[in-house]
Amino acid sequence: MSGLRPYPSVQDALNLMSPPGQREVGWSILGALARAQLRRGASVVLDGVARRPEIEMCRELAGEEAASLVVVLTTCSDVTIHRSRVEGRARGIPNWYELDWSHVERAIAPWGPPVDVDLELDVVRPLAENLEFLKTVLSARTAQY
C-alpha cells in the first residue's frame, strides 16, 4: 500500500470505500502477488494483521493453487516487552508511517486473535524454541502435500 500513497486520487478512492479500503485492497494485492509466486513454484510468507476474512482468503487461495497453508499467530504476552519492541524499531517502509505504541494500542483494542490458527508463537519464548515449533508444524504440513 505504501506504493499507492503518492497518488492522491487513489488515496481518495480508498478513503471513500466503506469501510476505508486500505486493508481490503492491500490484502487483495498480497493475494495476487502470492498467487503469482505460487504459480512460479515459490514459497510465500504473508506477514500482516490478518482477521478472519484475510485468513479465509489465504485458505481459498492455497486451495485453488494446491498449496500448503500454515497460519501462524505471533503474540507477545508481556506488554512491557511488546511496547519496547515497537518503540525501539524503525520499519523504514518508503511512503509509510512508523508505528508508535498508541497506534498499536488502538489496533489491538477491537482485535480478537483468530481461533483457526495452526501455530501460536509467543515472542517472549526463546527464538530457538519458537523456530523448533515452527519447523515441526511446517514439516508435518508439507509432508501432507
Strand ranges inside 9-140, DSSP E = 72-75, 119-122
> What is the tens place of the pLDDT at every residue in 109-137?
888 888 889 999 999 999 999 999 999 99
> What is the tens place of the pLDDT at every residue in 46-57?
988 888 889 999
From the number of C-beta atoms within 10 Å of its C-beta (0-12, 13-18, 19+), residue 100 rates as exposed
Query: What's this model's pTM, rounded to 2 decimal places?
Result: 0.83
